[in-house]
Chain A
Amino acid sequence: EAQVTQNPRYLITVTGKKLTVTCSQNMNHEYMSWYRQDPGLGLRQIYYSMNVEVTDKGDVPEGYKVSRKEKRNFPLILESPSPNQTSLYFCASSFLLSGSIGEQFFGPGTRLTVL
């Protein structure tokens, strides 16, 4: 089954404790992206990647890191989480069509609480 998977689905942590949220897709998509969803603000892009070893900042990158060492995986790293990073996080992937992002397929989400 074609899908985007995220782990963990739920995470409660404390301020300053490094964490990684994994994202994997099995559709051979070039493009991958991380979003955070907050009430009233919709989805805001954190980081994106156009291909292996190519990553770039989105609209709200502060406090986050990413890497793209393999095409299928795009982990989101919070080196020192803070309470304002409490949110619902989504990973998404798509093909690139002549350099443009195609239909994005989203993972099931990771609900993160930072105490």
Chain B
Amino acid sequence: QQQVKQSPQSLIVQKGGISIINCAYENTAFDYFPWYQQFPGKGPALLIAIRPDVSEKKEGRFTISFNKSAKQFSLHIMDSQPGDSATYFCAASIKAAGNKLTFGGGTRVLVKP
């Protein structure tokens, strides 16, 4: 049973549009929520992360929204560009338990020009 559920599995968006990827988790002890970006033929790389003491974090065109009561968090990619085409993974961890990551299933995003 996956502890972190990610949706959708794939997403097609037009250039300039907004990409939205959602993740839901079960374990309320999770206290660190990173997103990883993976380009074809490459390993995942940390994109942006949030802790549950804030509801939103923005870095450039990438924003994480966090809803603690609903146990959900999402990644928004504003003004999506073809160079954003990649697979995105959400993850969660518990700092006191060593910060071991539990990953979601991944979302393949294709941004059409």
Residues of A at under 8 Å CB distance from B?
A: 4, 37, 39-45, 48, 90, 92, 99-109
Contact = CB atoms under 8 A, between A and B. Distances in A.
B101 A104 contact: yes
- Chain A contact residues, majority secondary structure: strand
Interface residues of B, number: 21
9 contacts: A4-B43, A41-B2, A100-B95, A100-B99, A101-B98, A101-B99, A106-B44, A107-B43, A109-B41
Contacts of A48: 100
B41 A108 contact: yes
Contacts of A109: 41-43
Interface stretch (B56-64, B65-73, B78-86, B103-111): B103-111
A4 B43 CA distance: 10
B73 to A, nearest CB: 15
Given A90-B43, A109-B42, A42 B89 contact: yes
Nearest to B45: A106
Interface of B: 2, 4, 6, 9, 41-46, 89, 93, 95, 98-101, 103-106
A107 to B, nearest CB: 5
A50 to B, nearest CB: 9
Contacts of A99: 98
B54 to A, nearest CB: 19
Which 8 pairs of residues, A with B, have the shortest CB-CB distance?
Answer: A106-B43, A42-B103, A101-B99, A100-B99, A43-B103, A42-B105, A40-B105, A106-B44
Q: Which of B43, B44, B45 has the most CB of A within 10 A?
A: B43
Contact of A101 (B44, B100, B104, B105): B100
A58 B41 CA distance: 24
